[in-house]
Structure 1
Amino acid sequence: MSLFVGVILVSMFISNYNVQAYSHKKKFNIDDPNVKLFRQLIRELQWNHNRRLFFEARTEAEGDCTADILESYQWNGDYSYNSNGVDTAQRCMDTCDLSGECMGWSYKPATKMCMRFSSIAGVIKVDGVRSGSCVGISLKTKCTETRDGQYSGGTEKTLENIATVQDCMTSCDNLNICFGYLYSPDETKCYLQNSVSEFIAGDGFKTGSCMAPQKRVRLADPIKIFREDSLDGHNQKRKDHCVPALTLDASLNKISQDFANQLAAADVTPPIYDMSKMQTVYFNKGDAARHGTSVVNGFYDEHKYFNFDNPDLIMVNHYPKIIWKSSTKMGVGRAFTSDKQTMFVVTTYDWEGSFVDSYKDNMNKKCT
């Protein structure tokens, strides 16, 4: 729903329903179909606003694609997918992270180009490019292979007066972008290769590949990292408002996860829920790779519309929950739709009480 259409629908609803001016002290029926419709339209506008949020650098790795981070080098290998208009290297990494066939990614900020590779043969020197792999600790392995012939590929460095093939192999081990070597016993030269591909048998050279097997490796439990990332985001904002830090709670995690699973299985805009509860729901198509901190920051941005003297806790209901003073625990659930294109995030807090009546005792202005 576009912002314009949303505004028109809300205006039509208000005109047709002829509702009285809203007062925070006025009681209204939460089950009234017209109230539900109005609140649903408002949430549609909020979700459309959230679509404009940018990806930000997360504090920890979320999944597979954070190994072998290289600056000013692009992977050399087989492309699986190229994308234009990708905002950040983080988002490029995230799209690779979501694809089980992606072994590595390279990002060109100047052109906002994201390249995903199904196999990697080495690197190419390209200024300004950032790259990373999805195969665990490193694409490199210790050089042990020795064959008569040569691997085709680029040469990163040529070393003179190298006495033995073993010395050449050790030199390749010591260079992080050396993925193979070529040694000439007659010339005592060692060629350190930044990529290796086709092997050509022959005499006169010793060669070997120093590439590790390329298999996707899960570095961490994604939901655990996501929850910790969300917790860090909450506590940084709470610190800015001089309120105590939160801790993660297993029972609240389960409540949040169960609800997130329910929403993802339905794969529709979440139904109206009681926004007076200490719970938030994030939903957006195309944001399946968004990390915990950016969801928190997006909700916190509501502070621009929050009036401490006369707050509208219906229209601005996420921001207060992030910095709510009396909350001590939180839980986070995250679930994806079957096509991995939509992410639902549910956050539940432990505080119970009257949200509207208690805000003066629980909302601190920014103190730092």
Structure 2
Amino acid sequence: MTGRKLNRDAIAAHNYFRAAHGCPKLRHDKNLERSAQKWAKELATANRLYHSDAKTYGENLAFRWCSGKGDLSGMVHSGHEASQMWYDEVACHNFSGQFSSKSGHFSQLIWKSTTKCGFGRAISSDGKSAYVVGHYYPPGNVQGQFAENVPRAKRPVKQYTPKPKKQSNACLIL
């Protein structure tokens, strides 16, 4: 999956979930994509999961690991899989207006005043770990601003399913 496809996929899923909560759509930002990709490569090089020190943007991390090296196609996060994993933390969110470490990925994804995002992905050199990073601006999870930025869903939210690509009507005659 290319960086462009990863970003399209993740942003479509994010906007699906955000719409259910009455939050505006996110826009892609190339600088956030670059910083997310750089951090994903850093994580893959270190082969460990930890947040960056950046304070100018919000950050979500996703990680998958397999015990054997080989075909990672079943292991590597797509943009919508990482987004779904982050959104699923909604089950742990109590909507009390406070931060919870159990739902911080969810609250950043939904954060109403966030307008831009970018995503990156990298695989460790041993081929066993895949890292997905999301960067957001302005950052979410700001103390004292949860009530106005993390609204409850306005409708039931089903699992996100990406729309299939449109098929071309072109024919190849051999």
- Please tell me whether the aligned partners of residues 51 and 59 of structure 2 are also in contact (alpha carbons under 8 angstroms): no
2:93 maps to: 306
Q: Look up the SS of the partner of 2:104 in the other structure.
A: coil
1:248 maps to: 28
CA distance in 2, matches of 1:354, 1:273: 15
CA distance in 1, matches of 2:139, 2:15: 20
2:106 maps to: 319
CA distance in 2, matches of 1:354, 1:305: 15
Q: Look up the SS of the partner of 1:318 in the other structure.
A: helix
CA deviations 1:149-194 (Å, max 9, x no partner) are xxxxxxxxxxxxxxxxxxxxxxxxxxxxxxxxxxxxxxxxxxxxxx
1:225 maps to: 5
Match of 2:40 among 239, 250, 260: 260
User: Compared with structure 1, are the counterparts of its residues 255 and 326 closer, same or farther at alpha carbon in structure 2 (3 Å cutoff)?
Assistant: same
Greater relative contact order structure (CA < 8 Å, 6+ sep): 2
1:290 maps to: 77
Q: How far 1:271 moved relative to its partner?
A: 3.1
CA distance in 2, matches of 1:364, 1:263: 32
User: Compared with structure 1, are the counterparts of its residues 304 and 353 closer, same or farther at alpha carbon in structure 2 (3 Å cutoff)?
Assistant: closer
User: How many residues matched?
Assistant: 147
The RMSD of aligned alpha carbons is: 2.2
- Please tell me whether the aligned partners of residues 288 and 336 of structure 1 are also in contact (alpha carbons under 8 angstroms): no
> Which structure 2 residues correspond to residues 1-368 of structure 1 after superposition, within 5 A?
62=1, 222-268=2-48, 270-271=49-50, 273=52, 278-286=58-66, 288-309=75-96, 311-352=98-139, 355-368=142-155
Paired residue type of 2:79: G
User: Compared with structure 1, are the counterparts of its residues 279 and 333 closer, same or farther at alpha carbon in structure 2 (3 Å cutoff)?
Assistant: same
CA deviations 1:102-122 (Å, max 9, x no partner) are xxxxxxxxxxxxxxxxxxxxx
CA distance in 1, matches of 2:143, 2:35: 23
Q: How far 1:274 moved relative to its partner?
A: 6.0
Q: How far 1:227 moved relative to its partner?
A: 1.1
CA distance in 2, matches of 1:310, 1:359: 5
Q: How far 1:273 moved relative to its partner?
A: 4.7
- Please tell me whether the aligned partners of residues 313 and 356 of structure 1 are also in contact (alpha carbons under 8 angstroms): no
Q: Look up the SS of the partner of 1:346 in the other structure.
A: strand
Greater percentage in strand: 1
Task: Give the unaligned 5+ runs of structure 2.
Answer: 67-73, 156-174
Task: Give the unaligned 5+ runs of structure 1.
Answer: 1-61, 63-221
**Larger deviation, residues 282-291 vs 248-257:** 282-291
Q: Look up the SS of the partner of 1:356 in the other structure.
A: coil
TM-score, normalising length from structure 2?
Answer: 0.76
- Please tell me whether the aligned partners of residues 108 and 141 of structure 2 are also in contact (alpha carbons under 8 angstroms): no
- Please tell me whether the aligned partners of residues 288 and 340 of structure 1 are also in contact (alpha carbons under 8 angstroms): no
User: Compared with structure 1, are the counterparts of its residues 350 and 265 closer, same or farther at alpha carbon in structure 2 (3 Å cutoff)?
Assistant: same
Q: Look up the SS of the partner of 1:226 in the other structure.
A: helix
User: Compared with structure 1, are the counterparts of its residues 275 and 295 closer, same or farther at alpha carbon in structure 2 (3 Å cutoff)?
Assistant: farther
Q: How far 1:314 moved relative to its partner?
A: 2.6
Q: How far 1:313 moved relative to its partner?
A: 2.5
Identity of aligned residues (%): 27
CA distance in 2, matches of 1:262, 1:275: 14
CA distance in 1, matches of 2:101, 2:54: 7
CA distance in 2, matches of 1:304, 1:275: 28
CA distance in 2, matches of 1:278, 1:252: 10
